[in-house]
A and B are shown apart, each in its own frame.
Chain A
Amino acid sequence: MGDAEVPGIVLTPPGEGDQAGSGPRRVVLNMGPQHPSTHGVLRLLLELDGEVAVSCRPDIGYLHTGIEKEFEVKTYQQGVTLTDRVDYLAPLSNNLGYCLAVEKLLGLEIPPQAQWMRVMLTELTRLNSHLVWLGTHAIDIGAMSVFLYCFREREDILRIFEMFSGQRMMTSYFRIGGLALEPPRGWHQRVKKFIDVFPSRVDEYEDLLTNNRIWIGRTRGIGVISLEDMLDLGVTGPMLRAAGLKIDARKDAPYTSYERFDFEVPTRTENDVYARYQVRVEEMRQSARIVAQAMDGMPSGAWKADAPHVVLPDREKMKTQMEALIYHFKIVTEGFRVPEGEVYQVVESPRGELGFYVVSDGTAKPYRVHMRTPSFGNLQATGKMVEGSLIADVIASIGSMDFVLGDTDR
């Protein structure tokens, strides 16, 4: 593969600087994407010296869809549907971050049931995301069967999402002002059935991997990058926690009444692929705890805010009350105005710090929405992390970052 014709990326020609032909022969390997319609289209340019990756340059942007631009022509409530499509493995975390940001601008008070419901479903989303990560990461490293186990539980979670919202993946279940629909009848039994057995399922994954000698051999001591480098390069989430830094927005700046829940923030100090695996597995157990607490202590009452100019009225009210019908018409046709201002709302997505910077100019459409997505920041550390490692370990290392390219490119 020629290295000179790669546009915009300057690579050292083989053997330059040494006497012609006597220096080390370096090869540039283009790792992915194989086809434009594959998911996770990331391109890595690896400069190889034998089997060692001397340098690694990630090339992103293949999934850029202009979502931030799209926000500017949608009303605030319509914007919720865009957030699903950013990080498609954690749509509800994105819904939550965006809704909280706009609610902060509006000064809306969200009733307790809606808040707890949000906590419960966001934690199920974290389980969903971590399960996909664990399954695919294990496949990348060569442990095929874990994937089947993980997707068995993921299916249960997607069915729960479908029960709540009618959608398996692009749920858009959180809306500005509360939830999209009333929680369905029978949700409690359904979630309980899942969460009662889930911890034993995590034990099964651990049986397959935690003491597996091949797994340990492939992950321990691999992908190490110093905590200082990670902080400097913008890495967040489980990767920092696997390096011993106890950082979690759910604890540091609680939102949606996370302060009322009892859970631990797991950390490790080894800072390798194995430690990141351990952190995420423990996070699954903690998320299951949060879901169980939310379910048992679910407050009763309203599931959307008392704000008729923002929240759509009940169907029944529209048939009997003139005001309800007027509000419905106004919200659907022109949306609602949001006071001028700007906020930056951070939530802890399964991948790390997810920030929504929303600027309002007082109209019914956002003036600017910027998403600080965790995958973008994490991916920036790829080069530093895999420098000097074997090609096979590059796969293990980038897998341990748990990025979603939709989240990176937006």
Chain B
Amino acid sequence: MAAFDEDAVTGGDFAHNELTLEIAPGKISSVCGFLKYDQGFQRLSTVTAVDRYPNEPRFEVVYHLHSVERNERVRLKCRVRGEDPVIDSVTSVWRGANWYEREVFDLFGIRFMNHPDLRRIMMPEDWEGHPLRKDYPITGSRV
């Protein structure tokens, strides 16, 4: 059981009837553990990212959690720097985070620490670049 760490939440927002909590990137794994085991958010709906290029911190890693018994959803957000972006994996909390984090790694180039199998999932293994980054072109071919 993880105890709730007050320093972990750095901000929040409630809009369109949806709750967003901003979490310090270093604390994401323990916050997720707390939310899953103490607060009943047994489902991780999805993990994705938003590229705020050229702003810093450049990336937002976004988690959508779902509690079936409470019928509630919450969104967690961690801001990660653009230079060598890295964040803790939550695969130890939900095994289902595996593919979602691989997708974010593949398409945004954000590394997940302690991920059991961090490989590209959508693009070919030898692909260069991360297509969902804002500085990645939408058309054109590599020469």
Contact = CB atoms under 8 A, between A and B. Distances in A.
Interface of A: 7-8, 60-61, 64, 66, 68-70, 72-73, 104-105, 231-234, 245, 247, 252-253, 341-344, 346, 353, 355, 357, 359, 367-368, 370, 372, 376-377, 380, 409
Contacts of A231: 42-43, 68
Given A64-B122, A69-B138, A253-B71, 16 more contacts: A61-B120, A64-B123, A72-B138, A233-B94, A234-B45, A341-B15, A342-B20, A343-B16, A343-B18, A346-B73, A355-B46, A357-B46, A370-B48, A372-B45, A377-B46, A409-B122
Nearest to B96: A234
Given A231-B42, A232-B95, A372-B45, A68 B132 contact: yes
A228 to B, nearest CB: 8
B116 to A, nearest CB: 11
18 contacts: A64-B122, A64-B123, A68-B107, A68-B132, A69-B131, A69-B136, A104-B16, A232-B94, A233-B94, A234-B43, A234-B96, A342-B15, A344-B64, A344-B73, A346-B45, A355-B45, A372-B46, A380-B99
Given A61-B123, A105-B16, A253-B71, A233 B96 contact: yes
A60, A342, A355, A409 pick with most chain B CB within 10 angstroms: A342
Contacts of A72: 138
Contact of B122 (A61, A234, A247, A372): A61
Contact of B46 (A70, A343, A368, A370): A370
Specify the main secondary structure of chain A where it touches its partner: mixed
Contacts of B44: 234
B138 A8 contact: no
A60 B121 CA distance: 7
Interface in B96-124: 96, 98-100, 107, 119-124
Nearest to A59: B121
A64 B122 CA distance: 6
B27 interface: no
A33 to B, nearest CB: 15
Contacts of B131: 66, 69
Interface string B1-36: 000000000000001101010000000000000000
Contacts of B119: 8
B58 interface: no
Contacts of B73: 344, 346
Interface in B123-139: 123-125, 131-132, 136, 138
Nearest to A344: B64
A21 B125 CA distance: 33
B50 interface: yes
* Size range of the chain B interface in the assembly: 35 or more
B42 A344 contact: no
Nearest to B75: A344
A73 B134 CA distance: 11
Nearest to A373: B46
Contact of A8 (B45, B62, B95, B125): B125
A79 B106 CA distance: 23
A70 B138 contact: yes
Given A60-B121, A69-B138, A359 B50 contact: yes
Nearest to B98: A380
Contact of B96 (A8, A61, A66, A380): A380
A353 B45 CA distance: 8
Contacts of A380: 96, 98-99
A353 to B, nearest CB: 7
A60 B68 CA distance: 28
Contacts of B71: 252-253
B48 A234 contact: no
Contacts of B46: 355, 357, 370, 372, 377
A148 B121 CA distance: 36
A234 B98 CA distance: 10
Contacts of B68: 231, 245, 247
A86 to B, nearest CB: 14
Contact of A368 (B50, B96, B100, B125): B50
A367 B50 CA distance: 8
A344 to B, nearest CB: 6
A347 to B, nearest CB: 13
Given A234-B44, A367-B50, A376-B99, A357 B64 contact: yes
Given A105-B16, A232-B94, A380-B98, A61 B121 contact: yes
Nearest to A229: B95
A234 B94 contact: yes
A380 B117 CA distance: 13
A190 to B, nearest CB: 37
B96 A372 contact: no
A105 B48 CA distance: 19
Contacts of B50: 359, 367-368
A409 B20 CA distance: 27
A377 B46 CA distance: 9
B96 A357 contact: no
